[in-house]
């Protein structure tokens, strides 16, 4: 079994108008990490200060980075032929956002089955927690997320969370 755990950081929450500014991912095969993807993206628009206050990504950090089409093409190759994708709130946010960005940049991508640790945790931990945010769940399981709201750090936390949820 081969899958990719992924996370994105964006300029906002509007799938149609905001842009991806960071993609992080791990490629897993038979329970082992076999690849890592971590790229900042120059979105071609200004990153709002409120976004920078959450994830720490500044306009200066992305000004010399590749534009979306380049990074998304690389990411599309990274996820090619996996059995499924995993993310936290991926079904409602990350995956639709990613698909929209692929389309916007003329990148033909497969439709992937997506597993969502937010939904899985709500089922497996029914009524045990008030919140099922990644922050709450990592605290609940004692998972360290050193750079919360940075894509690759959130990916490692989501990967550990998925493994804990699958044990339950």
Q: Give the span between the Cα atoms of 141 and 105, in whole angstroms.
A: 38
User: Which pLDDT score, from 0 to 100, does residue 103 have?
Assistant: 97
pLDDT in tens, 52-84: 999 999 999 999 999 999 999 999 999 999 999
Per-residue confidence at 127, pLDDT binned at 50, 70, 90?
confident
**Rounded average pLDDT over 135-153:** 97
Across all residues in the chain, what is the average pLDDT? 97
**Rounded average pLDDT over 114-122:** 98
Inform me whether the pLDDT recorded for 39 exceeds 80: yes
pTM metric for this prediction: 0.96
The reply to whether CATH 2.30.110.10 applies to domain 2-167 is no
- The one catalytic residue in 149, 156, 160, 161 is 149
DSSP characters over 40-75: E---SSPPPHHHHHHH---HHHHTTSPPHHHHHHHH
- Number of other CB atoms surrounding residue 7 within 10 Å: 27
User: Does the active-site annotation cover 149?
Assistant: yes
User: Which pLDDT score, from 0 to 100, does residue 168 have?
Assistant: 74
């Amino acid at each position: 079994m081969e899958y990719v755990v992924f996370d994105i950081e964006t300029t906002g929450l509007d799938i149609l108008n905001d842009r991806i500014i960071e993609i992080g991912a791990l490629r897993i095969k038979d329970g082992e990490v076999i690849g890592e993807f971590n790229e900042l993206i120059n979105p071609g628009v200004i990153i709002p200060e409120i976004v920078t206050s959450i994830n720490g990504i500044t306009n200066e950090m992305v000004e010399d980075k590749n534009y979306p089409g380049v990074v998304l093409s690389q990411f599309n190759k990274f996820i090619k032929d996996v059995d499924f994708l995993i993310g936290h709130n991926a079904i409602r946010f990350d995956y639709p956002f990613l698909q929209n960005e692929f389309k916007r940049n003329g990148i033909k991508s497969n439709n992937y089955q997506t597993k969502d640790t937010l939904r899985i945790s709500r089922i497996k931990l029914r009524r045990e927690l008030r919140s099922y945010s990644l922050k709450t769940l990592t605290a609940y399981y004692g998972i360290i997320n050193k750079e919360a709201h940075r894509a690759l750090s959130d990916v490692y936390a989501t990967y550990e969370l998925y493994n804990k949820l699958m044990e339950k």
